[in-house]
Structure 1
Amino acid sequence: MSPASPLPLLIAVLVCGWVAALLVRSRQRARRRTPPDFTAMACTSTNDGIVVQTLDGIILWANPAYLRLMRLPMDRVVGRNPLSFCLPDADRMTRAQIAGFRYDPDDPAWRKLVVVRNRRSDGSLFWNQLNASFHLASDGRTLATLVCRDVSEQVEQDRILRDTTATLAHLATHDSLTGTANRAHLSTFVADRMALAPAIRPGLGLLHIDMDGFKAINDRHGHAAGDAALKHVARTIGHHLRPTDLLARVGGDEFVAVCTDVACDAELLGIGQTLCDAVRTPFRHDRMELALSVSVGAVRAGPDDADTDRLLQKSDFALYAVKRAGRGAVAVYDSALHAEAQSRDLFAAQLQHCIADGGLTFYMQPTVDLVTGHVRGFEALARWQHPTRGLLHPATFLPLARELNLLAGVDLAAIDAAADLHARLRATGHDGIRVSINGSHVLLSDRAHAERLPARLSARGLKPQDIHIELAERDVFGSVDPGAHRFMGISHLVGLGFNVLIDGFGAGYAGLLHVDRLAVAGFKVEKALIRHLAAAPACEKITAMLLQFGRDKDLYCTASGIETAEQAAIVRSLGGSVGQGNHFARAMPAEDVIGWLRARSSCQELRHTG
């Protein structure tokens, strides 16, 4: 038998190969003609979980992201209602409740994003953001498509932000040590009630409360005992006030209680006496029993009392009468005290003449580099050499000058004094030392007044850049409605060429966001924070936060009110670089500055030589 010819087999192989090639090319052409299934691609690759459900909640299909989100395989999801496996134990529903569930496509609630607490198969909890939509399927059924997203991180961030905002809001309106309201909150509280018409204004009574012998407690038993005393007084007084009343700490050892619906002076006197009696009860601190007393000056708002400052002034008059009589009692502002107020009017007239005649003088207090000890600048501080009362500090007369609208004259006197010192420093080779003044709120509201300052500097051969202007935080942010004109006033000063600093930053009127919006060159940390650095951890934390904020924003920061080496060391450890206060030098007459600098330089040289 002859061997079979290979030709038929070869032909068969060639035909099969040709047919296969045709099939491959046909499939390739078909794929090119058929577009990709983008819907399937998106559903399977997205990080959001997607489930398709019947209107009674039964899952017909779930994408891989949903299975990862719930940590379940497909066979444990399809055919089930998510309510049967995704709810936390506290929210778990009965079988009857789950069976009764049904989507209502017409319910507008399903058109909004909903965030719910869900539970994974491993028991872990997360926040699930749900977005439902409804579609008509090819078989005529209406189906629900649910998009699920794990938003736990965002929810936690929102919670932290809310808590932080609430904490900052509380810090802005409350005293960190005693928990009472601060001066800003007090002003708002009283102003809101004083804004009512006299005929319908509820009887408003103010009690200005001053702790007797507080300094002695601090000196004898330490700052911790002083803080305990402050807390005791705040707690005791707060316990005897009504929920509608307000207690605020307005100074180191001073409180103001505001009582509403006070019918007469006798009732207010009785409230004050109750507070005095309650505070006298001794309290224990560090195994010691300490006794306290308070002096109270009271006033009830009358129909002619139009503002908070007037009430506080009257209560202060009454408090002064108590102190003069021996402390530990209550006095209500009356006609006798009114007569004393007349002597105050005489004082006001004398102040008016002093400012008009250029009679103010200015003492200079240095700011010091906390690392090198070099003098960085001087601040011009107003003084009044009164004809009968001697040298008066600004706290004695500037509040009155403000009330009498005399602060513009103080600004002009301050800029003249600062310019004179700057010229003297420059003439003696101290070019790098800056000079600053305390500007008044008038500079923020009166553009024409602000523009007088550069002209006075120019007359002395100086530019606005040579002088820094410090504006009190309360003047920029402290009113009930500060308004945009205050911020525009700062921009105007900066536009004129001045470097502007916020003085008393951290007193509770401003937030960090406020300062970040302003074109200020820096700020001075509130003295009260520095004063309590060693004894109040909250003050240390706030100071550290403020200094860090200054470094982050490249702002010139000064810690003011440093009285001890311990405070200076703490500020330095917190990253502070510039300090000011009596620890370094008390304010001195301007004519003594150059001599003081020379003496200081000589002492430093001797120390280095030694």
Structure 2
Amino acid sequence: MMLSQDWRRFTESLPNNVYASVVNSLFDNLNTLIAGMVSASIAAFITAWKTSSRPLLICAILLTVIGICRSIDMIGYRLRGDVSTKRAAKRWEVHYAIGAGAYSAALGFWWLISFLTTSDSFVQLLCAAITIGYACGTSGRNYGVPNVVTLQIVCTCVPLAFAMLARGDVYYIILACFILPFFFALKKIASSLNQTLLKAVISAEDVTLLAGRLDAALNNMPQGLCMVGGDSRIVVANGQFAQILGLDPQVPRVGARITEVLVECIRSGLFSASAAGRIVSDFKANMEQRTSGRMHAETQAGRTFAVTFQPTGNGGSVLLLEDITERRSAEAKIKHLASYDALTGLPNRTFFRSQMDRALSLMRRSTDQSALLFVDLDEFKQINDTMGHPTGDALLCAVADRLQRIVRETDVIGRFGGDEFVVLQSPVGAPEEAAALAKRVVETLSEPYEIEGHQLIVGASIGIAMTGQHEVDADHLLRNADMALYRAKAEGRGTWCFFEPEMDVTARARRTLESDLRKALADESFQIFFQPLVNIRTGRVSTCEALLRWTHPERGMVSPAEFVPVAEEMGIINELGVWVLRKACQECAAWPTDVRVAVNLSSMQFRRGNMTGTVREALWAAGLPAERLEVEITESVLLQDTEATRVTLTQLHDLGVRISLDDFGTGYSSLSYLHSFPLQKVKIDRSFLQGIQNGGRSLTLLRGVARMSDELGMSVAIEGVETQEQLDLVAAEPSITEVQGFLFSPAVSSSRIRELLQSDMTAATKVA
């Protein structure tokens, strides 16, 4: 038979385990079912015997056969019934519904036959009693599936009502009318029992699920948990509690006293008697005061446990046990890392600063002084870059070891990062003591180092600041020592220098210059001047070199030699260079198409920026062909990272940009670069012009360099041409194509260079 759509939708919404419990309730009352079916079969045979009616005999046999089949089906369910899936549960539900429907129909048919074929009151009464009793039993036995109850009541009560109506007797008709409310009453009872069953099953499942989750949570939490009652006996203990303590899982059993667990811990050697006594004391205090608490317990094996007490509402307490040994070890390491340099083991800036405060505080109570030595290694960067960072790190550790050997126990050494070390010399009676220590440091650190099979040599420059008679704080002392170090490096390195008040004035001026530079960059207060390069053969301007100029609002024109190095140290030279490149390209776009613009690129721009991308963007923004841009680089660019620089220059060359080597002859190995890099022009430094008017070696050297460059396929330009005599000598050399200098024009503004380019420059002197 087919179940109703409503019941199907309802069963689909039930969880598998709940639906399985519902189906299981149908097959749960085998004994009562068999008893009812046996009673009905006996009654049916009695009615057949008393009336000698063949139809009633057939009904009795049919009831017996169906009853036997139902009994076999129910026994089969108990033996091999599988309701692990909804599909299997539905199959057994259908089995039961078919059997119940068939039996109810046979019972109703027996009742109908007895009323239609006989007038025996005993037979009719017996049939009615059995049928009504079966209907009542159905609602109490099959309430788990309301559809089955409805089916059985309809199959039994409808034939009963029909038979009574068929008799035509008024009393039978009255009885038939009572069948309908009886039907609804049984159905209502079955529905109520069904809801009760479902609620009970779902509640039981929820309790089981909650218990399972709680058990899983307790036994999978990283801490050990033990709940004790008001009598200090264990109520609950998870597996981690015994595992952390290293005890047998049966020791912290339910009902045992917590003191028994501690006794076992002492017996196993986990805790000493004193440690266990302290735990008991703290536990009792928390139990009596009903307060939460936390304590640390040290084991005899060196482990650390954290024990947390939390009172409960019933006078008991919850104990949380956690092994925090590794956490404490990690905290100690973190604390050490926060105070000491990870590489050298010396105090870092933060910890050294606190030690300085303490030392200076003690010095204020005496007449002694303190000296701060700011030590910076000379040429360390070159070693780090050429030999690699592992070698550089090993060298720093060796330097730290030497410093520790030459200072006193009262002195403090720190590392501020990189190759910067600081020494707080305290106490110091006179500046001569600080100078003597500085001398020892310079001499000791300058001795050769054996690092990984290499002999390395570095120097040291030191700035010294004294506390003096005036109170100074740590920051002030560090700042003074830093300024003194700056002076020592400026004086040639490998030496030491004491702080002097005028250094502060110089430092303030530099800080002001740095601030003004940042503001000028933000406001674009810089200007670009252009100095032309003249083609000797045509007498016309072929290229204009872009030169950065800065007119300070108070100081007037500031020399690039003053502010460009500061911009490089500040790290803004890259932004400044990009700005110059863009402005120069925009200006060149307004010039005659046969004139190029030359822009100087610093080594820092090559290290920090995507030079190829920057140039491409500047050309695109200005709408300038790449062939009209010439980038000038110095030998310092080629010395940084040869392979990376070669790749960048090759990319620029492929883009169409001309590449010029500026200030040729002022470096150390320029000749080796002329054939290694994609250079197209060489600008010979003005120093080569000195004395050429006298002939001799100066003129020979100039001509030799020019011819060599020309034979390598590069055009040659001469810088610093200031006299007609120099021009005549240079022009006599056919390998030289361009000249630049005050003889033609100094660096001029963009408006002035446009006027020069518009004029008909038929001779070099006419340009001037």
Larger strand share, 1 or 2:
1
Larger helix share, 1 or 2:
2
Is the radius of gyration larger for structure 1 or structure 2? 2
So what's the TM-score if we normalise by structure 2?
Answer: 0.36
So what's the TM-score if we normalise by structure 1?
Answer: 0.45
